[in-house]
Chains A and B, each alone.
Chain A
Amino acid sequence: ILNVEQSPQSLHVQEGDSTNFTCSFPSSNFYALHWYRWETAKSPEALFVMTLNGDEKKKGRISATLNTKEGYSYLYIKGSQPEDSATYLCALHGSGNTGKLIFGQGTTLQVKP
């Protein structure tokens, strides 16, 4: 059974702080790693898809890195703003091309003004 772990479970930061969180996955069964942003009362929205070891993706103040050999990905938010408050989900697309994503439990970020 594939298991995707995210830490921390929740995070409270002040506006302007930079923050990062971790997604861990089994490195032996990797095809792609997805990050989603999920605001309260909305639906998850895709941020990044990463497939190659060493991949780095950036979208505004949010960036992500990938290490497939050791099975982890980091999501960074530079200069957090209140509108960044959301749950950030990572999801593993395992090898086998089944189309199915295994989601982590998410990291909930709260940015205080």
Chain B
Amino acid sequence: DAGVIQSPRHEVTEMGQEVTLRCKPISGHDYLFWYRQTMMRGLELLIYFNNNVPIDDSGMPEDRFSAKMPNASFSTLKIQPSEPRDSAVYFCASSFGDRGWTQYFGPGTRLTVL
């Protein structure tokens, strides 16, 4: 099993640009989570999906952030326009509801907004 796949691994962009982060969950998993890691807040949940449907987006910081899951094997997190305070590591994780709810994390995308 390839595990959760995220791309890109590193992204450097300039303030105001659109950024799209991608995630492929583990095949068969029905939950997908987007997290952000910062020094100040640690690991914070941004949004999660169940069977491709967004369940809770209360952690999305503001309207500049949006997430989609068009099918069971792909999700995107988009920031438009990006700001320097968005610089962080963004993790995607997936889990299977009937198997203990353990979340499996991808390698993360390190985003730097200049």
Contact = CB atoms under 8 A, between A and B. Distances in A.
A101 B103 CA distance: 9
Interface residues of B, number: 21
Given A43-B91, A43-B108, A105-B42, A99 B50 contact: yes
Contacts, number: 50
- Determine which residue in B48, B91, B103 has the highest number of CB atoms from chain A within 10 A of its CB, and name it: B103
Contact of A32 (B33, B50, B56, B101): B101
Given A34-B102, A44-B105, A101-B101, A89 B43 contact: yes
Contacts of B104: 46
Classify the secondary structure of B's interface with A: strand
Interface in B55-114: 55-56, 91, 95, 97, 100-108
A93 B100 CA distance: 10
Nearest to B95: A99
Contacts of A100: 33, 45, 48, 55-56
Interface residues of A, number: 20
Interface of A: 31-32, 34, 42-46, 49, 89, 91, 93, 97-101, 103, 105-106
Interface of B: 31, 33, 42-43, 45, 48, 50, 55-56, 91, 95, 97, 100-108
